[in-house]
Structure 1
Amino acid sequence: MVQGRPDGRVAVVTGAARGVGEATVRRLARRGLRVALLGRELDSLRQVAGSLPTEACCIEVDVTDAAALQGAARGVQERLGAASVVVANAGIAAAGPFAASEAALFNRVIEVNLIGSANTARAFLPQLVQTGGYYLQIASTAAFGSAPLMSAYCASKAGVESFAQALRTELRPEGVDVGIAYLHWTGTDMIGAIDDHPVLRALRGHQPAPARRVHSAEQVAAWLIHGINQRATSVYAPPWLRIVQPLRPVLPLIVSAAARRYLAALPATEPQGMTGVLGAGGRADWEAHRPPPPAPHVTPPQC
């Protein structure tokens, strides 16, 4: 999107059924862009699209399905035109001790957040090259300092940051700009019960007062739209996070020290009791992909 020019171009947002994705779609549409809403919850996507002031299309797609995303990209171009903005927002989170978590759940978080972002970029890059567009990768302050009990989520967000940084250099000669959005505490269903969850409560409780504030999805979307309009290299939500960047080498040590003190005071069963997927969207995805329980082992009769 050319700075200050809401001229009916096409934007694509993954994970658009709720939360930051939905709020971003609404703000893009208010700026005059036609919007493609991609996600797993088709009924919710349709409800959002039906309330927009500009032309929109909904495509039910799993971002971990590369072939399906390629089909979605073709569908967007046929219905709306080539995308000039792509927001890779789809993501899920899981919490709990690594050793107590299902391996399949750890893998699913990585697949959705990291592999899904790569699939999204690969599917829409030809259109972005055609339009000289802008790709915005949604990351997190989880990439700044890895928190215990959130190993899969932190690994995936550090991964998407590195992926987008590499992509940025590769695509600049093609006229495509790549931005990374660093989101902090955002009021979506992913952290809906923040004070009841020992993992999230610990992470938030040991931060300075300004860093504990939870920002609405609408406010975060406003920051994202400003970044999209500027084709920004980095988007900080909230903006003061930019002053944290120089401190990143020491943040893992600070996070680790605070977490050790907190975890030592917790009953051993509390983190394990809250192990699992965070948020309704993440739970819906996990239920759709959770492997069946293994068949019970039967000891063969002895001769």
Structure 2
Amino acid sequence: MKPSRTFALTGRTVLVTGAASGIGAATSRALDAAGANVVLVDLHQVPLDELATSLGSRTLPVAADVTDGAAMESVVAAAVARFGSLDVCFANAGIAAASPTTIPSSSVEEFERIIEVDLLGVWRTVRACLPEITKAGGHVLVTSSVYAFFNGTGNAPYAMSKAGVESFGRSLRGELAGTGTTAGVLYPGWVSTPIIKASRQGHPAAQKLIRLANPGPFGTPVTPERIARAVVQGIEDRSARIICPRRWAPVSAARGVVNILGDVVVDRSRRMQSLIRQLDK
């Protein structure tokens, strides 16, 4: 079965994790504006209720931990009970380190929690949603990052997770090919959300390292609303990949060369090496 080239969202039911803030909240608003029913999922009920109140009756706010597979299955059951079906899963929830750090100086608990939420949380969310999504001939979208193809020095657990999410999303799309159900991967660049606060406003050495590694427009954050517009269009088009802002698309396409050159720069830059050493302090 060949999937429709246009997947209209009006009347569809979309589950969004990480819905209480940032990309998740902005996308939930954009989905509501597109006529979708939106299942809002995050850790705490109060901010979800506030968002649901601002959107209206076509929402279902449910507090749940994406690392809890049974809890996510309950969310899916509640969504189907309320709206009759589940058509789209946007596995978007993610966290980052409280402050940039190197691998040796990372907190074991924080490192593993990031992997648990950003990678295994995506897996558990999609696993819970997939039976209903395939029944509806719908779409799965997972949030990776430009860190999937960009050196993650100083941010290893996040970069590691996002590379894994990319591989997971691409594998899923391949497995679903020809079934009428599709999957895609979202690659945001720097976005003005709480998750980048630690990097952009925290450790002085990290700020300098980011500016060196992300020159000019590559280091300029975009709004969550810009990402949300790209997400809605990407779901409607059943896109395999959504790269936003688009300035990162050539970097992704040339990642083999870019990865080699990027590693060479870090190997040879005394300035970068000095800043990295400061992250250990």
TM-score, structure 2 length as denominator?
A: 0.90
Matched positions, count? 272
- Seen in structure 2, the aligned counterparts of structure 1 residues 57 and 210 have a Cα distance that, compared at 3 Å, is same
Tell me the residue number matched to 1:151.
Answer: 156
| 1:33 paired to 2:36 | yes
TM-score, structure 1 length as denominator?
A: 0.84
Tell me the residue number matched to 1:287.
Answer: none
Contact kept in structure 1, 2:218 and 2:247, CA below 8 Å: no
Tell me the residue number matched to 1:266.
Answer: 275
2: CA distance between counterparts of 1:115 and 1:24? 22
Tell me the residue number matched to 1:3.
Answer: 6
| 1:249 paired to 2:252 | no
Question: How far 1:223 moved relative to its partner?
Answer: 1.2
Root-mean-square deviation (CA), in Å?
A: 1.9
Tell me the residue number matched to 2:175.
Answer: 170
Question: How far 1:54 moved relative to its partner?
Answer: 4.6
Paired residues for 1:95-134 under 5 Å: 95-134=100-139
1: CA distance between counterparts of 2:272 and 2:41? 38
Question: How far 1:9 moved relative to its partner?
Answer: 1.2
Q: Match of 2:173, as an amino acid? A: R
Tell me the residue number matched to 1:297.
Answer: none
- Seen in structure 2, the aligned counterparts of structure 1 residues 204 and 73 have a Cα distance that, compared at 3 Å, is farther
Contact kept in structure 1, 2:7 and 2:235, CA below 8 Å: no
> Deviation per CA, 1:80-134, whole angstroms, max 9, x where unpaired?
2211111110011123011111212111111111111110111000111111101
Question: How far 1:4 moved relative to its partner?
Answer: 6.3
Question: How far 1:53 moved relative to its partner?
Answer: 4.0
Larger-Rg structure: 1
Q: 1:82 aligns with which of 75, 80, 85?
A: 85
Question: How far 1:219 moved relative to its partner?
Answer: 1.0
- Seen in structure 2, the aligned counterparts of structure 1 residues 228 and 200 have a Cα distance that, compared at 3 Å, is farther
> Deviation per CA, 1:173-196, whole angstroms, max 9, x where unpaired?
331110101110000011135154
- Seen in structure 2, the aligned counterparts of structure 1 residues 28 and 2 have a Cα distance that, compared at 3 Å, is farther
Q: Match of 1:42, as an amino acid? A: Q
2: CA distance between counterparts of 1:259 and 1:200? 16
Structure 1: unaligned runs, 5 residues or longer:
274-303
Contact kept in structure 2, 1:23 and 1:217, CA below 8 Å: yes
Contact kept in structure 1, 2:144 and 2:162, CA below 8 Å: yes
